[in-house]
Amino acid sequence: MTELLKISLPDGSVREVPAGSTPADIAAAIGPGLAKAAIAARVDGELRDLNRPFEGDANLALVTARDEADALELARHDYAHVLAEAVQALFPGTQITFGPSTDDGFYYDVKAPDTREPFGMDDLPAIEEEMRRIIRADKPLRREVWSREQLIAKWAGEGETFKAEWARELPEGEELTVYWSGEDWLDMCRGPHLPSTGKLDPDAFKLMRVAGAYWRGDQNNAQLTRIYGTGWLNKKQLNAHLTRLEEAAKRDHRKLGREMDLFHLQEEAHGSVFWHPKGYRIWRELEAYMRRKMDGADYREIKTPQLMDVRQWTQSGHWGKYAQNMFAVPDMVPEVDEDSGAASPKVADDAEWLAIKPMNCPAHVMVFKQGITSYRDLPIRLGEMGCCHRNEPHGALHGLMRVRQFTQDDAHIFCTEGQVVAEVQDFIALADSVYRDFGFTYDIKLALRPDQRFGSDADWDKAEQELRDALTANGLEWEELPGEGAFYAPKLEWHLTDAIGRTWQVGTIQSDRVLPERLDAHYIGEDGDKHRPVMLHRAIFGSYERFIGILIEHYAGRMPAWLAPVQAVVATIVSDADDYARHVAAQLQAAGIRVETDVRNEKINYKVREHSLAKVPQLLVVGKREGEEGTVAVRTLGAEHQKVMPLADAIAMLRAGGTPPDLLTEN
């Protein structure tokens, strides 16, 4: 009698099928519509090929394009394989390596034949067309299990030296799979894949760029060409993505930073920002705003040293976990050649070492430990606009978004175990008020314990549950991220969504029992004994540099009037109005409005264009008539028409529009 397998479906029904049956067989049995729509399957939770036979009784969920996350992952994986096949079809002798999917597409690392130059942008149109031909051919994608010896012989015999090298390092006895595209091309891959290339939309991908890459990421190895593409389920999604990219390019904070004269970066200070007066005005307004928020929430601001003995960082655990990202300096006076002025690079063998702080937390513990703290004093909330340094690789630096020197709106709350949930609740409300002031929506994620961590499982259980309890008490939903917590604490993360739909991880609060233990922090409890406080690490902006970069891109440079470096410009139509323009500017300045005058001998349309490019919120145009009548013609950035009004009314309007949102609420 033929053995039957029991396959349980999401609706609770169970189907009995012969051994060797596949998810595709069940889809066909349910109906032709599902058979056509199904693109893969989840078997006992694992994403698998639709045509891979069941290995026993199983739970089955069929995957269609409506399961967008799975469908996109499969499509992008397949686009990468089609890219590799297309390159080898067009350029025989090309060696392929590996090509994964990415957050919005795919890439593949390849080595061009020795007979030609590395691939460049000019090659992409032909490769795209060949990819479309392969997709339209609807070639079946078929999985096979091979031995390690078969793989080595295959790749070595075809001159695929990179694949052969990788195959030789695969473990003996492991199930190794290849995927055929039709009957004429294959690649080594774990899968899964779509049933055929025809399941891809030939108009839903685009090759974007090429870049250099090294085999296995090692600069001592052969250089390859990485071909990047973006891939989607349909042309509508592709077009929407390309539109987002175009909009993102317009909003690039580096471009707008130059146009608006906010900041610059240069090689003499890798990863550190040179703030210009207008850019630093944005910083100052943000800092003043955050200080008001922290003062209102009963934080006490402190300032701690930049340099601390490496032994302190060793005790905290950061030196063992984070030393490669820290800057260290010897505690010694360098020898200087009096003639040349050159400092000697030699470091004495017995020199003590200091580290430039990459974070503020150990120093805050040291402040907390001064004197005797009673349980009656808790919670203690210590805040710092703390400048930190991290040794980021040069290649990872990116404008304001990833720097080496940055300033955090940092704070640490020292509290009893019984106060943790309430303190986290209060922080959740504070963060919400800040993000709403800037027009952001957000999602909250809970990052849970990593494999490598300090502290007991019992403490981690308690800390993770406290964060859950605070979220529940505030009526919030969240996503959990297994393994993504810090080595000393789980954390809540705020992921902001900007004006064009991108997400940015910014704020965080971490519930830490490790650092107080390692640094011997304690308070005197009601029982007269010493107790460890819980330490909550928290930030809302994250860093001023990155948050300003996000704001520039979120607002496309059109900062809210209260943040704008220059809130108004008074511009003249004719030179006869120069004195009146200066009078208007003086009145605005006296009212607390950041104002400049433009009395250059230029046409007014030129001035309007220039100040619009600089993203000045209000342009006050004055001529001879306005001077005689005591009025101004107000042009609001982005508006088509100007409005003539008495100067006093214009001042009142600008003052109201330039008031920070937290002060408006209070009024």
Residues forming the active site: 361, 390, 408, 410, 412, 491, 537
Nearest to 256 by CA among 247, 268, 243: 247
Residues in the chain: 667
Which residue bears the tokens 């033929």? 2
| Contact assessment for residue 540 and residue 299, using Cβ atoms and an 8 Å cutoff | no
| Contact assessment for residue 635 and residue 608, using Cβ atoms and an 8 Å cutoff | yes
Backbone angles phi, psi at 81, to 5 degrees: -65, -40
How would you classify the pairing of strands 479-481 and 441-447?
parallel
- Sheet holding 568-572: strands in order across? 595-598, 568-572, 618-622, 631-636, 643-646
Rounded Cα gap, residues 101 and 75, in angstroms: 9
DSSP state of 279: H
Task: Report CA-CA distances (Å) from 604 to 526, 565, 610, 613, 625.
Answer: 73, 22, 10, 14, 15
- Give kind and range of the element (H or E) at residue 454: none
Cβ neighbors of 615 (< 8 A, separation 6 or more) are: 256, 260, 557, 558, 559, 564, 637
Which residue bears the tokens 């891939």? 231
Which residue bears the tokens 């009526």? 475
Torsion of CA 664, 436, 406, 253, to 10 degrees: -100
Helices and strands (H, E) in the chain, number of each type: 21, 32
Token readout for 299 is 């934080």
Question: Is the dihedral angle over the CA atoms 31, 32, 36, 37 positive or is it negative?
Answer: negative
Q: How many CB atoms lie within 10 A of CB 549?
A: 26
Q: How many CB atoms lie within 10 A of CB 243?
A: 11
| Three-class secondary structure of residue 87 per DSSP | helix
Cβ neighbors of 168 (< 8 A, separation 6 or more) are: 148, 152
Rounded Cα gap, residues 462 and 511, in angstroms: 9
Task: Report CA-CA distances (Å) from 152 to 138, 265, 506, 538.
Answer: 29, 49, 47, 52
Q: How many CB atoms lie within 10 A of CB 581?
A: 25
Rounded Cα gap, residues 275 and 287, in angstroms: 14
